[in-house]
Amino acid sequence: DVKVTQSSRYLVKRTGEKVFLECVQDMDHENMFWYRQDPGLGLRLIYFSYDVKMKEKGDIPEGYSVSREKKERFSLILESASTNQTSMYLCASNTRGRWDIQYFGAGTRLSVL
Amino acid sequence: TQLLEQSPQFLSIQEGENLTVYCNSSSVFSSLQWYRQEPGEGPVLLVTVVTGGEVKKLKRLTFQFGDARKDSSLHITAAQPGDTGLYLCAGATGGGADGLTFGKGTHLIIQP
């Protein structure tokens, strides 16, 4: 079974803090994704990566950056957290051959106070 | 930007009833996926459909892809409390991650 692991289930941070959300997958998938999920807005793509050291902006990249130094790990960085970044963050991965099917982690619920 | 409209947004029914959830778009998709997400968890893939008119069954769940590949439905027969969750559809237009569109989901509650 594909396993996508997000390092934290719950995080509470203060405005202005630098926040790291980590995601690791164990299936040698080429593609990795970060989404945020908000009530009434659904899933919105923040960033994705097709390969190590590669990154592409999604629909809402503002206020976020990413890092992919190893194939299995994809990090989401909030340089200076703001209250409007309070959300559920979901990491996903898939293989180049079936980019339409996403395997999700359990999510990180981030609260910025 | 492709849009996927899911309906209804919320549905609460009694155990044993049947229900249908719809996923509609004006865009044509190369494939369409259905996911279920339980509270506090990530979405889990239920099924993917790729051919217009395709019907797939997963126990009491029946998924159908429209003939024109613009819409899909999920029908649950004899719903059980374990079916409770958020059901998401996602459509792929065939070219990378930015070609994947998610619906906003249907919140389903099955009351015992």
**Chain A residues with CB inside 8 Å of B42's CB?**
4, 90, 92, 104-107
Closest residue in A to B87 (Cα–Cα): A42
List pLDDT tens digits, range A14-23.
999 999 999 9
Asked whether the CA dihedral A112, A92, B99, B86 is positive or negative, the reply is negative
User: Distance, in angstroms, between B18 CA and closest chain A CA?
Assistant: 25
Q: What is the predicted pLDDT for the residue at B100?
A: 82
| Per-residue pLDDT at B96 | 66
Tokens read off for A105: 């982690």
| A9 three-class SS | coil
How close B38 comes to chain A (CA, Å)? 10
Q: In this structure, what are the phi and psi dihedrals at residue B86, rounded to the nearest 5 degrees? A: -100, 125
Q: According to the model, what pLDDT value does residue B87 have?
A: 97
Provide the pLDDT confidence category of residue A103 given band limits of 50, 70 and 90: very high
Chain A residues in contact with B105 (beta carbon < 8 A): 42
B59's CB contacts (< 8 A; 6+ apart) are: none
Task: Tell me: pLDDT of B1 over 60.
Answer: no
Greatest C-alpha distance within chain B: 43
pLDDT score, position A100: 82
| Whether the predicted pLDDT of B84 surpasses 90 | yes
Mean pLDDT of chain A: 94
The residue in chain B having the minimum alpha-carbon distance to the alpha carbon of residue A9 is B40
By C-alpha distance, the chain A residue nearest B4 is A42
**Tokens coding A5:** 């692991």
* Residue A2 pLDDT level (bands cut at 50, 70, 90): low
Quick one: average pLDDT of B61-78?
Answer: 97
Count helices and strands in chain B by DSSP H and E runs: 0, 11
pLDDT at residue B40, rounded to an integer: 86
Least Cα separation, residue B42 to chain A (angstroms): 4
Rounded mean pLDDT, B29-35:
94
Q: How confident is the model at residue A43 (pLDDT cuts 50, 70, 90)?
A: very high
